[in-house]
Chains A and B, each alone.
Chain A
Amino acid sequence: GAVVSQHPSWVICKSGTSVKIECRSLDFQATTMFWYRQFPKQSLMLMATSNEGSKATYEQGVEKDKFLINHASLTLSTLTVTSAHPEDSSFYICSAPRWSGGEQYFGPGTRLTVT
């Protein structure tokens, strides 16, 4: 099956710093990738849709300037959490579909802890 990687798998940062998370599709090209966050014992909440060659589409309530998304190529999307605060601590997961309307292939996730 398709493989999506994420880096780093976990990160601890100090409040006020920025953290970049990478999501790569390893064996297919993804014009669209999705970024989710998941709090403990909760479902996945879609944050934004990352579009290759154009601006990301953010879900209601998600701050564009805080969660910067860049889809640099057909295999790479990055999420930068700027000026991180403890409440940003969460599990961030990316996904990519092989084709429109198809199943999502998820990265292993990045656990962010902001101290």
Chain B
Amino acid sequence: GQQVMQIPQYQHVQEGEDFTTYCNSSTTLSNIQWYKQRPGGHPVFLIQLVKSGEVKKQKRLTFQFGEAKKNSSLHITATQTTDVGTYFCASNSGGYQKVTFGTGTKLQVIP
């Protein structure tokens, strides 16, 4: 079945440094979604990418979908303590209903 790996598993950064998490799939993805889960909370939707090579920005966050639609990245510029949490990529499959989550990257920001 579809497996989506994320690297790194954990990342500690100093506040103000940049952060990037990568999502890789062995199969072509129909889309890519990114979610953020704060400690003790539930995942919250950030964005969805559909087109090959698509790039979207949300303030300090930049999301990219690879040309082959097998990988994606989330880049945060000048991290802040509010960015702390686990970032998951996810993708639809099974008739566009089922969502498979990546392994997640836990971000710690040191003030």
Interface size on B (CB < 8 Å)? 25
Instruction: Kindly supply a per-residue 1/0 record for chain A positions 40-65, scoring 1 wherever the CB is within 8 Å of any chain B CB and 0 otherwise.
Output: 01111110010000000000000000
CA–CA, A49 and B92, complex, Å:
13
Contact of A43 among B42, B97, B103 (CB under 8 A): B103
Instruction: Kindly supply a per-residue 1/0 record for chain B positions 76-89, scoring 1 wherever the CB is within 8 Å of any chain A CB and 0 otherwise.
Output: 00000000000010
A100 in contact with B95 (CB, 8 Å): yes
On chain A, which size bracket covers the interface?
20 to 34
CA–CA, A34 and B43, complex, Å:
13
A42, A103, A106, A108 interface centre (most CB from chain B within 10 Å): A103
B residues in contact (CB < 8 Å) with A: 30-31, 33, 35, 41-45, 48, 88, 90, 92, 94-104, 106
